[in-house]
Structure 1
Amino acid sequence: MLALLLPLLVLCRISFCQYSSDQCSWRGSGLTHEGHARDVEQVYLRCSQGSLEWLYPTGAIIVNLRTNTVSPAAAAARLSVCIKPFANSRGTNIYLDRNGKLRLLLREELQARGRVQCFDIREGALFIEAVTHLDISRRITSFQYELVSGRLGPDGHSLDAPCQPCSNPDILLAVCTSDFVARGSIKKVEQEEEHSSVTVEIGHLYRQKAKVFVSGGVRTRSWSGRIKMPLRCRVKSGEGDFLFTGTVRFGEAWMGCAPRYKEFLRLYHDAREKGTNPCHVDTD
């Protein structure tokens, strides 16, 4: 099959996107390919996150993900792309296309599982090829995508030793740059099929991107939620307060640095006396 696809990139008739689209998301229909099953559409997306929905896929589309920064080459050197298929996604195989060389990223039968797949943005564009079916009426390929800073493995986890304890500078920087920062305690740790889920109760929420922690009400002044970690990290419950930091991907919180709060306070005050704090944090 791969040998058949390579000539397709050269010989097929390349056409421009004819469907509804904006800079972040795209929605189209393969029915416009009727009679031209070997057409390849070019799609360009230039946002940090968005979605794609391809109804009744025929032929193929090439999805070019770009940054909207002034210096795209410099930004691309630090970016990974993560895609998460929706539960009903089917009808295509998804490849990475780099200068005409294809690498399989997601087969049709695996998309419905919704597993996140990540790759370096410099690896190329997404080549999404329709799988031949007699009935395409129920075939829709759809997924979310996000551009993430840092180097991520195919499973969406950091390649920079995600299970190792953070250094002192790492902790101080995480407080300034993470998608969420919260002081709280661990209530429960559950080992699920592909990750660990840490149930936390938050007493002080410094900030959060998206509502990953839910308020317990005006009177309680507390929040609760779940933070995920790679299964290989073998996280365990611990008593006392922690400072939780991390990233939010596809609306889910993933753990970054999580020092004990007393340890963070010691680091923070020492750095403040030396004038080396990367940012101010209200510790009162």
Structure 2
Amino acid sequence: MLTPVLASVLPLLLLCRISFCQYSSDQCSWKGSGLTHEGHTRDVEQVYLRCSQGSLEWLYPTGAVIVNLRPNTVSPAASRLSVCIKPSADSTGTNIYLDCNGKLRLLLHERDQAQGKVHCFSIQEGALFIEAVPHMDISRRITAFQYELVSNRLGDVHSLDAPCQPCSDAEILLAVCTSDFVARGSIQKVNQEEDHSSVTVLISRLYRQKTQVFVSGGVRVRSWTGLIKMPLQCGVKSGEGEFLLTGTVRFGEAWMGCAPRYKDFLRLYHEAQLHGTNPCHVDTD
């Protein structure tokens, strides 16, 4: 059943979409205040964000805001992107829905936002419809979150569709070329947390990292250490041997992708090299 606010603003959605609505002055982030809607609690504002990452901050939320997250590209790969949002620890004052052609699906309830958990959805599922929750008091409330557009590329074990599914040979080779980080290393320790596993790794060779998720041991020590997260259901364990570690970086945190044993990767890589089917070159010496 629709809330009173939703019932009153839904007829305005189509009008807002076909008329001139306010655009965000910043193509990556938006900051607004419901105080500008004083006396107009049924206002619906359109916001368009076209960056791969950014943030939203809405003070004293009233009415609703429709957030259209779109990459600044027209390539076919854009339709295969997912959107991940991470609410701040003090986010409150709204419910967040997915709006697909006027059909709303609850994504994040007001009471759940303070947990700060990451929620992801396909970019084709629609825009974000952020509805202010009426309160009797006038205390200060802020809805705030970060967002990132992430690729559903092959080799991302932490994908939305099939977490922990083993990678095929082709996916491993592609992951080496497209992952946010690629490293050779061993698993030192695994901590089981509430909703994921944190894997402590020791890196003997760092091929690439998008951001500084792995820390160097110093000039004289050619090694790096860091944490890589994995879904709990993957059941990762510490053990002997080296792995080729690949994956994505989301909100500054590394998530595991394809992670074959390094000796198996070498065999696979050299076989593909002989047949000329490697998608990119890796220095294995």
The TM-score, its normalising length taken from structure 2, stands at: 0.92
The separation in 1 between residues aligned to 2:86 and 2:190, in whole angstroms, is 24
The separation in 2 between residues aligned to 1:232 and 1:245, in whole angstroms, is 18
The separation in 1 between residues aligned to 2:142 and 2:162, in whole angstroms, is 37
Residue by residue over 1:243-269, the C-alpha shift from the partner in whole angstroms, topping out at 9 and shown as x without a partner, is 100111111111111111111111111
Are 1:251 and 2:256 matched, yes or no? no
Unaligned runs of 5+ in 1: none
From 144, 149, 152, the counterpart of 1:150: 152
Per the TM alignment, residue 217 of structure 1 is displaced from its structure 2 partner at its CA by: 1.5
Residue by residue over 1:143-196, the C-alpha shift from the partner in whole angstroms, topping out at 9 and shown as x without a partner, is 011111118xxxx94244332322111111111111100011110011110001
Are 1:110 and 2:115 matched, yes or no? no
Q: Determine helix, strand or coil for the equivalent of 2:131.
A: strand
Q: How does 1:12-23 map to 2 (within 5 A)?
A: 14=16, 16-17=21-22, 21-23=25-27
The one-letter amino acid paired with 1:81 is V
The separation in 2 between residues aligned to 1:42 and 1:263, in whole angstroms, is 51
For 1:94, the equivalent position in structure 2 comes to 96
Deviates more, 1:49-58 or 1:160-169: 160-169
Per the TM alignment, residue 138 of structure 1 is displaced from its structure 2 partner at its CA by: 2.4
From 38, 41, 48, the counterpart of 2:42: 38
For 2:73, the equivalent position in structure 1 comes to 69
Per the TM alignment, residue 21 of structure 1 is displaced from its structure 2 partner at its CA by: 3.3
For 2:54, the equivalent position in structure 1 comes to 50
The answer on whether the counterparts of 2:12 and 2:44 sit within 8 Å (CA) in structure 1 is no
The one-letter amino acid paired with 2:44 is V
Q: Determine helix, strand or coil for the equivalent of 1:172.
A: helix
The one-letter amino acid paired with 1:2 is L
Per the TM alignment, residue 3 of structure 1 is displaced from its structure 2 partner at its CA by: 5.4
- Going from structure 1 to structure 2, the CA distance change for 1:75 and 1:260 (only over 3 Å counts) comes to closer
The separation in 2 between residues aligned to 1:173 and 1:282, in whole angstroms, is 15
How many residues are matched? 278
The one-letter amino acid paired with 1:96 is L
The answer on whether the counterparts of 1:51 and 1:142 sit within 8 Å (CA) in structure 2 is yes
For 1:128, the equivalent position in structure 2 comes to 130
Q: Determine helix, strand or coil for the equivalent of 1:158.
A: coil
The answer on whether the counterparts of 1:67 and 1:75 sit within 8 Å (CA) in structure 2 is no
Unaligned runs of 5+ in 2: none
The TM-score, its normalising length taken from structure 1, stands at: 0.92
The answer on whether the counterparts of 2:53 and 2:146 sit within 8 Å (CA) in structure 1 is yes
Q: Percent identity?
A: 79
The answer on whether the counterparts of 1:247 and 1:256 sit within 8 Å (CA) in structure 2 is yes
Superposed CA RMSD in Å reads 2.0
The separation in 2 between residues aligned to 1:109 and 1:157, in whole angstroms, is 26
The separation in 2 between residues aligned to 1:185 and 1:112, in whole angstroms, is 35
Per the TM alignment, residue 136 of structure 1 is displaced from its structure 2 partner at its CA by: 4.1
Are 1:27 and 2:31 matched, yes or no? yes
The answer on whether the counterparts of 1:162 and 1:256 sit within 8 Å (CA) in structure 2 is no
Deviates more, 1:202-211 or 1:216-225: 216-225
The answer on whether the counterparts of 2:63 and 2:132 sit within 8 Å (CA) in structure 1 is yes
The separation in 2 between residues aligned to 1:98 and 1:176, in whole angstroms, is 34
The answer on whether the counterparts of 1:2 and 1:102 sit within 8 Å (CA) in structure 2 is no
- Going from structure 1 to structure 2, the CA distance change for 1:135 and 1:218 (only over 3 Å counts) comes to farther
For 1:280, the equivalent position in structure 2 comes to 281
Following TM superposition, the consecutive aligned residue runs of length 4 or more in structure 1 with deviations greater than 2 angstroms are 11-18, 74-77, 134-138, 159-162
Per the TM alignment, residue 32 of structure 1 is displaced from its structure 2 partner at its CA by: 0.2
For 2:205, the equivalent position in structure 1 comes to 204
The separation in 2 between residues aligned to 1:117 and 1:54, in whole angstroms, is 19
Q: Determine helix, strand or coil for the equivalent of 1:16.
A: coil
